[in-house]
Amino acid sequence: MRSSLVLLASVLVLPLEGMAAYPERPITFIVPFAAGGPTDVVARIVAENMSKTLGQQLVVENVAGAGGTTGALRCAQATPDGYTIMMGHMGTHGAAPAVYADLKYDPVKDFVPIGMAAGTPILIVAKKSFPAKDLKEFVSYVKANSEKLNEAHAGVGSVSFTTCAFFNSLIGAKPTRVVYRGTGPALNDIVAGQVDYMCDQIVNLVPQIQANSIKAYAVATAQRSPVLPDVPTTKEGGLAEFQVSAWNAIFAPKGTPPEVTKKLSAALQKALADAGTRKRLLDLGADLTDKEAQTPEGLAKLVQSEVARWNKVLKTVAMKEPAPPPK
């Protein structure tokens, strides 16, 4: 009897010991869009500091496709041992269920929330040669010419797709919507004048706006961004209804042990308290004020509310898309 109890105890203890030593090897950090876009930029900035805290590299793996749902599905189906996590956002863990009829994952049930890394206000930007001097002129021009215009996004259900679907529906525009593997590559085409406009997250846009290589018509938040003081709000531009902000947050697959998620959450909190990491994010216009959403419990609440919110908003503006075959 005694020996079987000892054996049982040793079997139970073994996994916990393993978790106590976590992490013992590099951690795959899935970014569900192309390198160089907002999700990738936020992930790499926080990963650098988290790697120092955890003592193992967070290795970013860009798994693009289907508006970020390909990468999200990859994470949802990964072994829940703490060695695969992802940077999700308002698209993959908010809007996706509203635009994919049979999405192969549930943003709430199939993930363990770790915490929000950055809030990301949305801007309406256009190629430098776009013939409008302010948001009022931009809206009038797009309404009158949308059939001749191209709008860039990062795939159905992405933040850029979702927010510009909302914008287009508000002003009654029907542009040709051009899909990219991320708004990093999309921004290159805006700079090159190959595509007309897009709705994107501030952390992708600040360098190009400050370099005056694209036009920024408005930021869709109540206040102007401190890093872009000359870019008016949508309200100042006469489009107060277009108020929208996105967010980027870290998730692990359902079933990841609490000892592991606690370490990941603590490492994220440490990164968000680190002066250098904060400066890099704030200089790109990130909003780091939502302390509640930076916790696992707060992020869980945010995902639930965002899924409900975007389901309501997108019912009127976007069709249901068949989910892509699992990769």
Q: Site residues (CB under 6 A) for ligand MLT? A: 33-34, 37-39, 68, 89, 91, 154, 158-160, 182-184, 201
| Cβ 221 to ligand MLT shortest distance, Å | 17
| Cβ 21 to ligand MLT shortest distance, Å | 33
| Cβ 10 to ligand MLT shortest distance, Å | 46
| Cβ 252 to ligand MLT shortest distance, Å | 20
Q: Which is nearer to ligand MLT, 34 or 239 (CB)?
A: 34
> Is 272 within 8 Å of 150 (Cβ atoms)?
no
C-alpha distances out from residue 18 to 4, 59, 261, 266, Å: 22, 21, 14, 18
Q: Which is nearer to ligand MLT, 168 or 261 (CB)?
A: 168
* Cα–Cα distance for residue pair 6/269, rounded to 1 Å: 39
Q: Which is nearer to ligand MLT, 205 or 260 (CB)?
A: 205
Q: Which residue is nearest to ligand MLT (CB)?
A: 37
Q: Which is nearer to ligand MLT, 198 or 260 (CB)?
A: 198
Q: Which is nearer to ligand MLT, 246 or 271 (CB)?
A: 246
Q: Which is nearer to ligand MLT, 173 or 199 (CB)?
A: 199
| Cβ 63 to ligand MLT shortest distance, Å | 12
Q: Which is nearer to ligand MLT, 108 or 179 (CB)?
A: 179
Buried b (16+ CB within 10 A) or exposed e, 163-198: bbbbbbeeeebebebeebbbbbbbbebbbeeebbbb
| Cβ 138 to ligand MLT shortest distance, Å | 20
On the 0-12 / 13-18 / 19+ scale of CB atoms within 10 A, 48 is: middle
By C-alpha distance, which of 56, 58, 64 is closest to 46?
58
| Cβ 87 to ligand MLT shortest distance, Å | 9
